[in-house]
């Protein structure tokens, strides 16, 4: 009797599975995709980046699809072929940028954000390095990092991790709870926040933003999240300095670098602008910002590139204007900080205008 070869099963394999709903305050679903039993074995898959139009989602999104070598959409790919995949979109009603990521074989370099960062781990675990200490966030954990707080991250094990992230200015969050302009400073008690109710609210807000569900319900949940965050996990004080505050010399050094992203600069020039000897400036810069002047310059260049990409500038022009030697140099630095290439990020921002 002749053996029949197994037939390919229909349906494009998505790297990130459908997310389960939250049935109770502590019930946070996993973003893990199910592994089907009995699927035919195939050669290792190639990653093909594509942009998809999620009609029900506000803002832009990007996704990587896995296709077998020479295959067509509709052919199953083995689970071992999963690669890093990142979706990013704007949420104007939240005054925030949202990310859903599936990270494999990837680690973040030391960097900072100009906003606060809140990330819920929906699968796996991430090891976070901050100012000489290490923290591990696992499935169901929410971690929070203040603006300008240097940090790096990587997988705890080869399985990688999945997370849902919100980037938002702390000042905006505080303004939601105030009748007028909030004063003083605020620092998030973190990085790991152990609050099941808070985490569940975050999860639902993020999930509903991606699906563009009922806007009013989403905004109400967001407000509840912010209120609980500030009530239980934020330290406020009129005399508290803003996170990342640095002495005048470091501020002058940053301004000098920011104004010369497209130029080659030397430590002696930076120190001269800051009014300190070279070594004193170097130590002060690293102590107060958590990174060297070179690391700061690279990060500032990537941020400048992001702004230019959003304006629709060609990538070659973006590379030159933001201080990179060429487009390949831009691509390497961009991916180490953002998890995706500049081209994928550009396509995502062009994918779709927000629904009216």
More confident residue, 295 or 238: 295
pLDDT of residue 246: 58
SS3 169: coil
Q: State the sign of the Cα–Cα–Cα–Cα dihedral 87, 88, 90, 95.
A: positive
Considering the domain architecture, whether residues 114 and 55 belong to the same structural domain is answered as yes
CA distance 263 to 246: 24
CA distance 144 to 166: 10
* Mean pLDDT across 42-66: 32
Beta strands in the chain (DSSP E): 46-50, 63-67, 85-91, 96-103, 108-111, 116-130, 133-138, 142-145, 151-155, 161-168, 185-188, 192-193, 234-237
Say if residues 348 and 61 touch (Cβ distance below 8 Å): yes
Q: Is the pLDDT of residue 30 over 80?
A: no
Q: Is the pLDDT of residue 165 over 70?
A: yes
What mean pLDDT, rounded, does the chain reach?
75
pTM: 0.62
Considering the domain architecture, whether residues 119 and 160 belong to the same structural domain is answered as yes
Q: 26 lies in a domain?
A: no
pLDDT per residue as tens digits for the range 117-164: 999 999 999 999 987 899 999 999 999 999 888 899 999 998 899 999
Q: 27 lies in a domain?
A: no
Q: Is the pLDDT of residue 197 over 80?
A: yes
Q: Name the pairing type of β-strands 96-103 and 116-130.
A: unpaired
Q: 318 lies in a domain?
A: yes
pLDDT of residue 267: 87
Q: Name the pairing type of β-strands 116-130 and 151-155.
A: antiparallel
Q: Is the pLDDT of residue 252 over 90?
A: yes
Lowest mean pLDDT segment, chosen from 90-99, 178-187, 204-213, 278-287: 178-187
Confidence of residue 32 (pLDDT cuts 50, 70, 90): low
pLDDT of residue 182: 52
Considering the domain architecture, whether residues 53 and 157 belong to the same structural domain is answered as yes
> What is the DSSP secondary structure assignment for residue 185, as one 8-state letter?
E
- Cα angle at 141 between 140 and 144, to 5 degrees? 145
Considering the domain architecture, whether residues 111 and 156 belong to the same structural domain is answered as yes
Considering the domain architecture, whether residues 61 and 139 belong to the same structural domain is answered as yes
Q: 301 lies in a domain?
A: yes
* Mean pLDDT across 292-309: 91
Q: 85 lies in a domain?
A: yes
Helices 293-310 and 278-289: angle between axes, nearest 10 degrees:
60
Q: How far is CA 119 from the centre of its chain?
A: 8
CA distance 30 to 14: 15
CA distance 311 to 195: 39
- Cα angle at 322 between 317 and 327, to 5 degrees? 50
- Domains contained in the chain, number: 2
265 CB-near residues (< 8 Å, 6+ apart): 256, 257, 297
Say if residues 308 and 300 touch (Cβ distance below 8 Å): no
Confidence of residue 268 (pLDDT cuts 50, 70, 90): confident
Considering the domain architecture, whether residues 221 and 291 belong to the same structural domain is answered as no
CA-to-CA separations, 320 to 232, 300, 330, in angstroms, rounded: 46, 14, 9
CATH of the domain at 51: 2.60.120.10
196-211 burial, b if ≥16 CB within 10 A, otherwise e? eebbbbbbbbbbbbbe
Q: Is the pLDDT of residue 301 over 90?
A: yes
Considering the domain architecture, whether residues 166 and 189 belong to the same structural domain is answered as yes
pLDDT of residue 287: 87
pLDDT of residue 8: 42
Considering the domain architecture, whether residues 219 and 291 belong to the same structural domain is answered as no
Confidence of residue 247 (pLDDT cuts 50, 70, 90): confident
pLDDT per residue as tens digits for the range 55-112: 232 333 333 332 233 333 333 433 455 688 888 898 988 999 999 999 988 888 888 8
pLDDT of residue 63: 36
pLDDT of residue 16: 31
Considering the domain architecture, whether residues 177 and 196 belong to the same structural domain is answered as yes
* Six-digit token string for 323: 């201080």
Considering the domain architecture, whether residues 165 and 195 belong to the same structural domain is answered as yes
* Six-digit token string for 125: 């675990």
Considering the domain architecture, whether residues 97 and 232 belong to the same structural domain is answered as yes
Domain housing 121: 46-237
Considering the domain architecture, whether residues 199 and 99 belong to the same structural domain is answered as yes
């Amino acid at each position: 009797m002749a053996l029949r070869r197994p037939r390919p099963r229909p349906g494009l394999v998505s790297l990130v599975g459908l997310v389960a709903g939250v049935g109770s305050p502590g019930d946070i679903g996993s973003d893990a995709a199910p592994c089907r039993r009995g699927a035919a074995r195939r050669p290792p898959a190639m990653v093909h980046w594509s942009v998809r139009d999620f009609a029900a989602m506000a803002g832009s999104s990007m996704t990587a699809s896995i296709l077998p070598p020479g295959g067509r959409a509709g052919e199953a790919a083995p689970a071992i072929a999963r690669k890093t995949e990142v979706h990013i979109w704007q949420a104007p009603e939240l005054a925030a940028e949202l990310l859903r990521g599936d990270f494999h074989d990837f680690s973040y370099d030391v960097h900072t954000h100009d906003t606060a960062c809140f990330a819920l781990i929906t699968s796996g675990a991430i090891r976070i390095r901050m100012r000489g200490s290490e923290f591990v966030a696992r499935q169901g954990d929410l971690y929070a990092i203040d603006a300008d707080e240097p940090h790096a991250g990587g997988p705890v094990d080869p399985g990688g991790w999945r997370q849902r992230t919100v980037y938002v200015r702390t000042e905006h969050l505080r303004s939601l709870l105030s009748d007028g302009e909030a004063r003083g400073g605020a620092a998030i008690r973190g990085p790991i926040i152990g609050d099941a109710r808070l985490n569940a609210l975050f999860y639902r807000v993020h999930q509903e933003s991606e699906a563009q569900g009922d806007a009013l319900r989403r905004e109400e949940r967001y407000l509840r999240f912010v209120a609980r965050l500030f009530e239980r996990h934020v330290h406020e004080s009129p005399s508290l300095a803003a996170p990342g505050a640095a002495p005048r010399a470091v501020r002058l050094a940053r301004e000098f670098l920011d104004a010369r992203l497209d130029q080659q600069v030397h430590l002696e020039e930076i120190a001269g602008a800051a009014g300190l000897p070279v070594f004193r400036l170097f130590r002060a810069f690293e102590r107060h910002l958590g990174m060297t002047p070179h690391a700061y310059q690279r990060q500032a260049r990537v941020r400048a590139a992001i702004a230019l990409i959003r304006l629709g500038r060609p990538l070659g022009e973006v590379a030159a204007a933001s201080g990179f030697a060429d487009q390949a140099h831009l691509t390497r630095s961009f991916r180490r900080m953002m998890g995706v290439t500049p081209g994928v990020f550009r396509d995502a921002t062009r994918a779709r205008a927000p629904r009216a």
